[in-house]
Amino acid sequence: MVTFQERLAARKNARPFKDVQVLLDDHLQGERERLEAELAKLGNVSDKRLASKSPADEIQEQIDALYKDDNGLVTLRFRRIPGNVWARLTSQHPARLESPVDRRYGYNFDAVCEAAARYVDADGAVYGVVLEGDEEIALKVEKKLPGASESVDEWADLFRVLSGHEVQSINDAIFELNEYQAQVRIAELVKASGAATRS
């Protein structure tokens, strides 16, 4: 039987991650935003005729085709942050009353995910990076010091230039790593445990 200490050690060494691809090419970004706007105008309208694609399907294929060309495509990797840090971030960023997502989860969803993306622990471990081949590159965040010309904050710059869709993809990946996956796994184990007890 696996001991508590063995489980804890295994969990401590596990660093699950998710990758998100974004475009950092002005032309491709503009084209993506134009296509996303067209897609948003269509809403949930779909063409039900046999053997035909809906206009929404055709636009989505054009968006997907942008990702087939490597020009401007950047992969970001996010790791699960420590649970106590996630809990602290959710406490530090209270829910916006006008946001249905925030009201559902009880914290500012966007602010917590951005803070988790840029989190660096006391030992210097980085939880959000850019992949260049197999190498993980930390984004630069340097505070302006007295007498220095200006601050550098590549995370802030990145979040400013991405489309809303791309920021949402980042947020979804971070939320899934830090909250959703654990919720689902616990629910599955509780359900299985209940079924085993009744047998």
Are 60 and 76 a contacting pair, CB within 8 Å? no
8 A C-beta contact, residue 68 and residue 120:
no
Give the integer Cα–Cα distance in Å for 173 and 22.
Answer: 13
Token digits for 52?
Answer: 């035909």
pLDDT score at 50: 47
Q: In order of start, what are the domains of the chain with their CATH numbers?
A: 16-25+72-187 (3.30.2220)
Length of the chain: 199
Tell me what pLDDT residue 54 has: 84
Structure tokens at 13: 């060494």
Smallest CA-to-CA distance from 10 within 19, 21, 2 is with 2
Amino acid occupying residue 86:
W
State residue 199's pLDDT score: 52
Measuring CA to CA, which residue among 130, 122, 124, 114 is closest to residue 171?
114
Q: How far apart are CA 45 and CA 43, in angstroms?
A: 6
Sequential pLDDT tens for the chain (199 residues): 878 777 767 766 668 999 999 988 767 777 778 888 888 888 755 544 445 678 888 888 887 777 665 567 899 999 999 999 999 999 999 999 999 999 999 999 999 999 999 999 999 999 999 999 899 999 998 876 666 667 789 999 999 999 899 999 999 999 999 997 776 677 766 777 765 555 5
Helix/strand/coil (H/E/C) assignment for every residue in the chain: CCCHHHHHHHHHHCCCEEEEEEECCHHHHHHHHHHHHHHHHHCCCCCCCCCCCCHHHHHHHHHHHHHHCCCCEEEEEEECCCHHHHHHHHHHCECCCCCHHHHHHCECHHHHHHHHHCCECCCCCECEEEEECCEEEECCEECCCCCCCCCEEHHHHHHHHCCHHHHHHHHHHHHHHHHHHHHHHHHHHHHHHHHHHHC
